[in-house]
Structure 1
């Protein structure tokens, strides 16, 4: 694999010569000022660089050497931001020129601003290896020969602190679990991780895998990871609530039932709660079309679960014989009038109408608010996700959520009151919630 060395060059070529002789890179790029540029020749006189090309391998920072210079010349050596940007651009260009290469950045020579900017760029790159060439003080000949060696600089502690103080808080606040997991993975791949930090990061990564899978409704994957972790401290916060969601899902999901996904009994509407919490997360990401889609599905699912548990009715194929005799003829007529006369399928409104006909409290509640709810659903129906092309705005989301969420929450609360189970909490939105 190609090894590229980027070195900051100051007034002394000695440490750079020792660095190159020690690392033996395939290519060396000098990061220097106008004044230190002349020392490149001194380095070349002492180390073989057969593929050296001055135009490509010398990056010179602008420097005002006298007052008569053009005003276009900016003294970059005194501007940390300019040095940092130039260094970032250099590292990026090297990656394009040498895909998959190893980059070592040595910040030994040059001004304080030059070395600081170059080191910052290497740290932010997250992949480049950082080094500094120092005197080997264990050598008795060090003072006489000026002998020095490049020493790798561990950036793991710096990167880890940035991760916990800067990256993760903002990502978790927006429930972006996959991006958070990738950020953790980048730190884990850095060398020189101490064992305790590595174990904490790996546990954090597992928890982010769980949260991301759960957020994508991949409940089976989330269960597998949680059960593999075997951490009893996660039972009440994550494992048991997730098993209740699966238990609710199994009421209608034949795959989950046939494959015997691990579950626990609950109040039966946990799958609806899960959709509501998911809608909140999508709204926190300003993804209002997705959030509305979750609410609509929650409305459908509530009626489907309640009909299944109350009367063993499948809305995709209603068995009219299971209905009370006094309404059988009404639904038999609906079946005959449907496009598919072999089956009676109930869409959202008709499903709630049947709940009302069965005198279910949620159905009766629906009957009181039917017109208002149907009007609010027009926003969803006009969106691209349904039958139109209109994007859903924050205002649209607030209006729709203001109608549907209280209705659904009332249905959930009614079922919870009949059981010992508590409502589902939102998934973690902070490090403290993930790693209490």
Structure 2
């Protein structure tokens, strides 16, 4: 692999020959220090004189200047031209060991060189030393500084991590934290936070709560309120799973609705609609469990009125799917069952879901259809729980 030195070249402050020679001396010191196999100079027409002086400096020291080419910049303060020409050379040499020296040139030239080093993760180098009143490093005082840029990369990667976290892409966010962030003070806290919500997003509630209870996550003071609410609803869900609550279904409803909103925010409307279908089914299950102590997968006909048994042909234990579960509630006189029985819109929305490629068909649910479906399911959820909106908030993930 060749070592390729990208070097911006100016003419020094002023036009005197001594200043240009002093600049050339310093730039050759960088070349000597970096020992490149090739050099790519970036500069104006006038900067070619500086390169000639660099060659003379090499000859004076009995050395040869490595193979080089000169990329002429027509507008030394034109960001687009500078960026394009740097990028063009980066495409040629990007898989080589590229070092960028941004010591000399206009402020725009050196700024673009620095930015390209950050964007392409290349070593950045600058010559410093004693400067005269014109800002020129005096010959013989030069020293080469390699910039430590990991803090910049960490800040950029933390920003990427937060964007991914806020969009629910927890696995990718976790990869950035573990593989790309070097020494950020909140790295471990963010890793455990992300693992918590990754598990929760997969309905792995106990693992999620374990991470949220960690000391590292609890050190994120700005998230204290939302995490406290999240842990409260997680505790209810886990208690239900472990049979420590009289009725087990109710805590899952806000979790399903919040999960559906996350899928929709990613544009995954078929996934989001599937969760709404389950939430609508769950509403009926909640009432049947709490009112009759029964399960929809094995309805006990002895718990219901004779007319209900006749309407649903309950002549033995029977599984009830969504529509028949609401029909049972309608026959038993529940408001939510009567509302469902008269609701043509919900039947239309269920047809859309059933034709989804993730259900029984080959169509896709669109955003408008999803929003209608969500509003309708939320309407039914409010019928059985007047606090459902605040509970959905408690099941909503934080934003960083």
TM range (shorter): 0.7 to 0.9
Is the Cα–Cα contact under 8 Å of residues 272 and 302 in structure 1 kept in the other structure? yes
Residue number in structure 1 paired with 2:319: 345
Give the counterpart of 2:363 among 390, 393, 401: 390
Q: Unaligned stretches of 5+ in structure 1?
A: 64-74, 337-342, 432-436
Q: Does 1:82 align with 2:68?
A: no
Alignment of 1:134-153 (within 5 A): 134-135=128-129, 143=138, 145-153=140-148
Residue 427 of structure 1 pairs with residue 397 of structure 2: yes
Q: Take 1:268 and 1:236, find their aligned partners in 2: how far apart are those partners?
A: 25
Matched, 1:22 2:33: yes
Q: Which moved more, 1:106-115 or 1:354-363?
A: 354-363
Matched, 1:400 2:381: no
Q: RMSD across aligned C-alpha pairs, in angstroms?
A: 4.4
Tell whether 2:347 aligns with 1:374: yes
Q: Is the 8 A contact 1:134 1:151 kept in 2?
A: no
Q: CA deviation at 1:107?
A: 0.9
After TM superposition, give the deviation of residue 83 of structure 1 in Å. 1.1
SS in 1 for 2:104: coil
Shift of residue 334, structure 1, vs aligned partner: 5.8
Are 2:102 and 2:126, in contact at CA under 8 Å, matched by a contact in 1? yes
Q: Deviations over 1:193-238 (max 9, x none)?
A: 5xxxx32354344334433443343434422322333628667532
Name the structure 2 match of 1:237. 226
Q: Does 1:324 align with 2:292?
A: no
Q: 1:23-44 CA distances to partner (integer Å, 9 max, x unpaired)?
A: 4457654444455457287287
Match of 2:9 in 1: 9
Q: Would the aligned equivalents of 1:17 and 1:47 in 2 still touch at CA under 8 Å? A: no
Counterpart of 1:133 (choices 104, 119, 127) is 127
Q: After TM superposition, give the deviation of residue 415 of structure 1 in Å.
A: 7.9
| Structure 2 portions without partners, runs of 5+ | 12-22, 132-136
Counterpart Cα distance in 1 of 2:393 and 2:71: 63
Q: Residue by residue, what CA displacement relative to the aligned partner does 1:302-334 show, whole Å, maximum 9, x if unpaired?
A: 333443454443434x15366337368548946
Q: Among residues 113, 116, 125, which one is paired with 1:121 in the alignment?
A: 116
Distance 1:159 1:264, change over 3 A: farther
* Partner SS, residue 100 of structure 2: strand
Aligned match of 1:69: none
Alpha-carbon spacing, 1:240–1:403, altered in 2? closer, same or farther (3 Å): closer
Task: Decide whether aligned partners of structure 1 residues 241 and 129 sit closer, same or farther in structure 2, where only a CA change above 3 A counts.
Answer: same
Distance 2:246 2:30 in 1: 65
Q: Which residue of 1 aligns with 2:17?
A: none
Q: 3-state SS of the aligned residue for 1:60?
A: strand
Q: What SS class does the counterpart of residue 133 from structure 1 fall into?
A: strand
Q: Are the counterparts in 1 of residues 206 and 238 from structure 2 also a CA contact under 8 Å?
A: no
Aligned pairs, number: 377
Are 1:80 and 1:117, in contact at CA under 8 Å, matched by a contact in 2? yes
Counterpart check, 1:299 vs 2:299: no
Taking structure 1 as reference, are residues 281 and 428 closer, same or farther at Cα in structure 2, changes over 3 Å only? same
